[in-house]
Amino acid sequence: MGKIIAIANQKGGVGKTTTSVNLAASLGVLEKKILLIDADPQANASSGLGIVVEEVVNGTYQVLEHTAKAADAIVSTSSPNLDIIPAHIDLVAIEIELVDKENREYMLKSALEPIQDDYDYIIIDCAPSLGLLTLNALVAANSVIIPIQCEYFALEGLGKLLNTIKRVQKIHNPNLDIEGLLLTMFDRRLRLSNQVVDEVRKHFSTMVFDTIIRRNIRLGEAPSYGESIIAYDATSKGAVNYLNLAQELLKKNA
Could you say which residues of the chain have pLDDT below 50?
A: none
How much is the pLDDT for 98? Answer: 86
Fold entry, domain 3-252 = Rossmann fold (3.40.50)
Contact assessment for residue 124 and residue 39, using Cβ atoms and an 8 Å cutoff: yes
**148-190 residue pLDDT tens:** 998 888 788 788 889 999 999 999 999 999 999 999 999 888 8
Contact assessment for residue 3 and residue 120, using Cβ atoms and an 8 Å cutoff: yes
Contact assessment for residue 238 and residue 214, using Cβ atoms and an 8 Å cutoff: yes
Give the bridge partners for 36, in sequence order. Answer: 84, 123
Nearest to 26 by CA among 145, 148, 175, 162: 145
How much is the pLDDT for 89? Answer: 85
Domain boundaries, the chain: 3-252
Q: Which of 53-89 are b and which e, b meaning 16 or more Cβ less than 10 Å from the residue's Cβ? A: beebebbbbbbbbeebebeebbbebebbbbbbbbbbe
pTM, two decimal places: 0.96
Contact assessment for residue 107 and residue 101, using Cβ atoms and an 8 Å cutoff: yes
How much is the pLDDT for 12? Answer: 87
Burial degree of 114 (CB within 10 A; 0-12, 13-18, 19+): exposed
